[in-house]
Structure 1
Amino acid sequence: MDAHLRAGIAVYDAGRFHAAHDAWEDYWLELDAGRDERFLHGLIQFTAVVHHGRTENWSGAQGLAESAGEYLAGLPADYRGVNLDDVRPFLARAAEDIEAVDWDHPPALRHHGETLDYEALDFEATAVAAGVLAEAEGYDDGVVADAVDYARDELDDRGEGRFVGLLFSFVREGEHRPVVYHRLRDHVERERQKDDDVRGLFDERSG
């Protein structure tokens, strides 16, 4: 859970309020009812509140603010290391008077007392963030998913490699993300071709 949680917080703290929930949603859908399920459900709705509020969709924001507050109610103020003591009062204000909220300055999310940028993410959290950013910015998420698999192979074999480095760059270097993506795609396509060639050899032998 930690990788998904930290990835979503970093995406949110980078100002990608709508995209942040994608880091949590698939993980949340697999959870059984309980505190973690309520926690992620509440955070997902919180990011939706911020997104709707900043786009002045008052009805969408206000209803979700009340619902998100209910999901997060009763959890410890620092549940899973997240500053719910800042999130819950914000949601309460939004539920009470949606237009009185300062939507230009929603509360930052912190993990164990720190806001997170992409530099703070380890490989697993970076892999989650890469998928989120690819989808949000219209890149081929299949390319990014394959790059993550190749990067994991590199980590297993020698602890580093070009896919590992490119994935970190894709997430961390927003200004250069299009260029990094094209390099990543080229490497993925070459690896896919190698995989196809190997499969072809075995297919020929079996035939």
Structure 2
Amino acid sequence: MDDHTSDPSVTPPPGGTTPAGWNAAEGHWEHATLRRATIHGVRLFNGGAYHESHDCFELEWYNYGRGTEESAFLHGMVQVAAGAYKRADFDESVERRSADHPSGARRERSESLDGSNGEPASGQRPRGNVDGMRSLFRTALQYLHGIPRDYYGVDVLEVRTTLTNAIEDPSRIDEWRIPIDGERPSARAADFEYVDGLEE
């Protein structure tokens, strides 16, 4: 464990589980700041705050050297959040602040689909930048290749499977939530406060 990535306030995994990254013999995360950033990043992603999720993963990524497993995981998750952001269609004309997020940072998705396969309804433009999403997801898959399936509590196998499916059918990402510790938690005020603190 590196001193600059340690944080004794980060709690152990729930239910006695031992995901990759948890040092059960010594009772701590190998990189506690990575675990903390991952929890906040996943919740923000699940709450539709893709830009903020991206920032959680990206700012933690800077702590690790090129070629490390930690760097590959975080870089992959940066690409996942960026790809979802591309898909979500953050067009200036449809951005609205969401009352259910304390910072108002979440932007509502535009309703431009017919609901069938992720393609636009007749006469409507495609939702988001699908080509950009696909490119980012392909890159994410490269980074996440070989990462343990339960890395810091994230179900990386499901992440890889969902990205692969979304490359073929972009609508597969629309309501998907990333699992961590066997749950799919959504954003809370503390998650927005965390990312706001990173940007100061």
- Alignment match, 1:69: 141
- Alignment match, 1:46: 80
Query: Is the 1:13–1:117 Cα contact (8 Å) retained in structure 2?
Result: yes
- After superposition, residues 43-192 of structure 1 pair within 5 angstroms as 43-55=77-89, 56-95=128-167, 97-99=168-170, 101-106=171-176, 108-118=177-187, 126=190, 129-133=192-196, 142=200
1:131 CA drift (Å): 4.5
* SS, match of residue 146 in structure 2: coil
Structure 2: tracts of 5 or more residues without a match: 1-33, 90-127
Between structure 1 and structure 2, the one with the greater Rg is 1
* SS, match of residue 102 in structure 1: helix
**Cα–Cα, structure 1 residues 18 and 74, in superposed 2: closer, same or farther, change >3 Å?**
same
Query: Is the 1:81–1:111 Cα contact (8 Å) retained in structure 2?
Result: yes
- Alignment match, 1:7: 40
Query: Is the 2:45–2:53 Cα contact (8 Å) retained in structure 1?
Result: yes
Query: Is the 2:55–2:195 Cα contact (8 Å) retained in structure 1?
Result: yes
Provide the alpha-carbon RMSD of the alignment: 2.4
Identity value in percent? 26
Query: Is the 1:54–1:103 Cα contact (8 Å) retained in structure 2?
Result: no
**Which TM-score applies when normalising by structure 2?**
0.56
1:94 CA drift (Å): 2.9
* SS, match of residue 92 in structure 1: helix
Query: Is the 1:21–1:44 Cα contact (8 Å) retained in structure 2?
Result: yes
Q: Which has the higher contact order (CA 8 A, sep 6+)?
A: 2
1:29 CA drift (Å): 1.5
Moved over 4 A (4+): none
